[in-house]
Amino acid sequence: MSALLDSMSAGFDALPAALVDAQGLGAPRRAALAAVLADGLPGPRSEAWKYTSLRALSARRFTAADAVAEVDPAALADIPPPRLVLVNGQFDAALSNLDGLPDGVELLALSQALQGDDGRAVAVLGRRFDRPDELFARLNGALATDGALLRVAAGVAVATPVHLVFVGVAAAGDLAMHLRHLVELRKDASLTVVEHHVAQGEHRHLANHLVHVHLAGGARLVHARVQDESTGATLLARTDAVLASHSEYRRVDLELGAGLSRHELNVALQGEGAVAIAGGMLLADGRRHLDTRLGVEHQAKNTRCELPWRGLADERGRAVFHGGITIHAGADGSDAALSNKNLLLSDSAEIDTQPVLVIHADEVKAAHGATVGRLDETALFYLRSRGIGLAQARALLIQAFLREPLAVLGDPALAETLGALVTQHLDRKDLSA
């Protein structure tokens, strides 16, 4: 067995029996772990893992967090309430602040729900994952004991964004944390939620997030996810969103940090007229490996998706993008648009992009495209001829390129806040050569 899975198995054994068996979840947890151990890690022949090798990771060992880590609250000062904070995978009540949470909105930690008799924990944790390449979802099923549960009651429109904050902090060893989340909007509810994945100090932890997004009919969710983890960190994230009729899901992912970050975004457009507008950017510089894998399923009539993604690879970085769209039989009137544009800034960097469109319906509109290029020399000269130095001119063009998907949020203030994070990252880069 690989050191990785061996350490995960040991982590399971170290969980208190009462926690494993809480709410009758013991059996599905054990089954999920057994399935992972039986199938092992996917190799290079696994299509889903073709461009992201788990070889280096397979040789590493992670332990579960045992002590509560200290976080300087000042580091989170920019993130206003209401916010739920988890440090090294554990709910931190002191840093969390639910002030201003409107009536009709429930926000609590999964660990709190597991202690009570809240059925929602079971509803999300009891799910089975059948494919061997879903090993991190399986591990999550076995090992997740914390996370965020967020629910908005029918008809409630929430104006204040809710923040979910995940902080990685250096510990005695490399930690593995498995978190399960649920964002549920009842009929005609609306909400903005922002996930922050941030580090305090350098660390090499592994975080395994699985987020369920449930949008009932007419619900509207704006969802931003900022991944700005430590350069040594490994992140494996998966979002499964299910959209009922005439619901709208707008989301943006900023992949700015970590050493290895993979995100699988699965969106099922189950109800007629459901809309998913999901874009993002991958900033793969240094030795960062970023992998984003979209799976959008048009399952009902007149569903729409719009997927603008931008990638940048510099130095020895690697950006991997898979944009899968399936239009099922009967999903007539579907409209799908995917664009993945990439900037390759160094000879040692790599970009792999793979738009995949599968259509089983008639009367659909579908467009997809992927490009990889360099910065436009003419535009660079234009900026320089006006007095702007080379490094600044490059930064301007890169920023403009990467910020483009932020428009999908339909929220200029949030887009500006997120765009500023991109600018901060570029400011730290040396673009003079």
* Interaction site with another protein (CB under 8 A): 376-379, 381-390, 392-393, 396-397, 399-401, 403-404
For 408, the token pair is 């999908």
Judged by beta carbon, residue 77 or residue 433, the one nearer another protein is 433
Which residues fall within 8 angstroms of residue 94, CB to CB, at 6 or more apart?
Answer: none
Tell me which H or E stretch contains 267.
Answer: strand 260-269
Judged by beta carbon, residue 78 or residue 376, the one nearer another protein is 376
Judged by beta carbon, residue 337 or residue 407, the one nearer another protein is 407
- Alpha-carbon distance of 341 to 354, in angstroms, equals 11
For 234, the token pair is 């490994």
Q: Of 433, 402, 284, give the one whose Cα is nearest residue 350.
A: 284
Q: Of 313, 232, 314, 239, give the one whose Cα is nearest residue 278.
A: 239
SS3 at position 265: strand
Find the shortest distance in angstroms from Cβ 59 to another protein.
Answer: 42
User: How far is the CA of 185 from the CAs of 80, 303, 322, in angstroms?
Assistant: 22, 19, 28
DSSP bridge pairs for 212: 182, 240
Find the shortest distance in angstroms from Cβ 407 to another protein.
Answer: 9
Q: Is 121 in contact with 113 (CB distance < 8 Å)?
A: yes
Find the shortest distance in angstroms from Cβ 408 to another protein.
Answer: 14
CA 51 to chain centre: 18
For 80, the token pair is 């206003």
- Give the chain's count of helices (H) and strands (E): 10, 19
Find the shortest distance in angstroms from Cβ 143 to another protein.
Answer: 42
Find the shortest distance in angstroms from Cβ 248 to another protein.
Answer: 25
Judged by beta carbon, residue 171 or residue 388, the one nearer another protein is 388
- Alpha-carbon distance of 387 to 170, in angstroms, equals 44
Find the shortest distance in angstroms from Cβ 339 to another protein.
Answer: 13
Find the shortest distance in angstroms from Cβ 399 to another protein.
Answer: 7
Judged by beta carbon, residue 357 or residue 380, the one nearer another protein is 380
Judged by beta carbon, residue 348 or residue 371, the one nearer another protein is 371
Judged by beta carbon, residue 58 or residue 392, the one nearer another protein is 392
